[in-house]
Amino acid sequence: MGAEANPIAAPLAEVARKHIDGATGIAALKRLSGGASQEIWSFDATTSDGTVPLILRRAPGGVRDAGRSGTAVALETEAKLIQLAETVGVPVPPVRHVLTEEDGIGQGFVMDRIPGETLARKILRDDEFAEARPKLARQCGEILAKLHTVDKSTLPPLRVSTGSGEVEQYLQTYRQLDYPHPVFELAFRWLRDNAPPDTTELTLVHGDFRNGNLMIGPDGVRAVLDWEIAHVGDPMADLSWICINPWRFGNIDMPVGGFGTREDLFAGYEAAGGCKVDPARIKFWEVLGTLKWGVMCMGMASAFLQGDRSVERATIGRRSSETEVDLMRLLAPLK
């Protein structure tokens, strides 16, 4: 859709003129295919010196909180978290403007468009990223160490999630789906027995830090994206989530995102000032992360069976059986 035919083009051009130095308008406005719950628009602010590449992240149709799940933060909160992460050295797309009602575009924010790649297939296989791949796990550890130093007193209101709380949350969801998986039930029992104490020190966590939510270039990680389920929780959860098998994209022998080792991830984390990595908590969160993905797959299958005939839901739904294999490898590893 050309910018001249798009109803958000004129108000977005006005936003650019007000908030981008020297901007005279916008060009190359197009909606991107990414963004499962929010709209993602790419555009350039035009200036006398050239163009400024930008992204608009907007609620569906601009309607406040449209498409937002119960665990997702509001877009204004997401923008604030990105700004806070930037202050401690986390690579992020700088936020240029948080939309207001007066802007006439709806709920959302404008940020810089960072060049790079998010598609795991390309990152793990293309020659362009060959030199970056050996560095990525350590870089991820260093980034998470910085993120976990964000002063909690500066945070906007966020949900607080302990290990035991998340176990009960997903157990309830599993029971509502009413489709027995004996391996899942075994995992829930193990998790209840091995949950970290609720007194464990909590920090800001990204919540979905993984290959696919990282903008990567030939030099390594350029930006951390998709902050919508950030919350206050156990920092070991971030270190574990990137290690679960679904985010290895077939490279099962490279547990960190399909590109690196846990040893490099943890070494980078501790060297950059993160707390001492706790192997017991890491295993707990890796089991829970794997189980969470399995329950999510069950939800996709349930939606398909109830009439949502998208191919994506069907193909993801069937992967709950793969999760059972992953859980057994974690809970009863071969000697």
Query: What pLDDT score does 1 carry?
Result: 45
At residue 68 the predicted structure's pLDDT band, cuts being 50, 70 and 90, is confident
Query: What pLDDT score does 333 carry?
Result: 83
> For 292-328, what is each residue's pLDDT tens digit?
999 999 998 888 888 877 788 888 888 888 999 999 9
Is the distance from CB of 166 to CB of 288 less than 8 angstroms? Answer: yes
Query: What pLDDT score does 70 carry?
Result: 77
Higher-confidence position of 4 and 94: 94
CA proximity to 28, closest of 57, 47, 51, 60: 51
Tokens 């404008």, residue located: 110
Which tokens is 48 given?
Answer: 């006398």
Instruction: Kindly write down the DSSP assignment for every residue of 137-203, as one continuous string.
Output: HHHHHHHHHHHTTS-GGGPPS--EE-HHHHHHHHHHHHHHHT---HHHHHHHHHHHHHPPPTTS--E
Query: What pLDDT score does 334 carry?
Result: 76
> For 22-54, what is each residue's pLDDT tens digit?
999 999 999 997 656 789 999 999 999 999 999
Query: What pLDDT score does 69 carry?
Result: 75
Is the distance from CB of 56 to CB of 12 less than 8 angstroms? Answer: yes
Q: What is the mean pLDDT of the chain?
A: 94
Which tokens is 261 given?
Answer: 């080792």
Alpha-carbon dihedral 184, 187, 191, 193, rounded to 10 degrees: 120
Delineate the domains of the chain, giving CATH numbers in brackets.
16-112 (3.30.200.20), 120-331 (3.90.1200.10)
Higher-confidence position of 69 and 58: 58
Strand order through the sheet with 108-112: 23-31, 39-47, 50-58, 108-112, 95-98
> For 229-274, what is each residue's pLDDT tens digit?
999 999 999 999 999 999 999 999 999 999 999 999 999 999 999 9
Query: What pLDDT score does 303 carry?
Result: 83
Query: What pLDDT score does 4 carry?
Result: 52
The yes-or-no verdict on residue 190 having pLDDT over 90 is: yes
At residue 9 the predicted structure's pLDDT band, cuts being 50, 70 and 90, is very high
At residue 212 the predicted structure's pLDDT band, cuts being 50, 70 and 90, is very high
> For 134-186, what is each residue's pLDDT tens digit?
999 999 999 999 999 999 999 999 999 999 999 999 999 999 998 899 999 99
Percent with pLDDT over 90 in the chain: 84
Is the distance from CB of 146 to CB of 272 less than 8 angstroms? Answer: yes
266 three-class SS: helix
For Cα atoms 17, 36, 6, give the angle at the middle one, nearest 5 degrees: 35
Query: What pLDDT score does 309 carry?
Result: 74
CA proximity to 206, closest of 218, 190, 224, 182: 224
Is the distance from CB of 97 to CB of 80 less than 8 angstroms? Answer: no
CA proximity to 249, closest of 238, 233, 260: 260
Query: What pLDDT score does 315 carry?
Result: 83
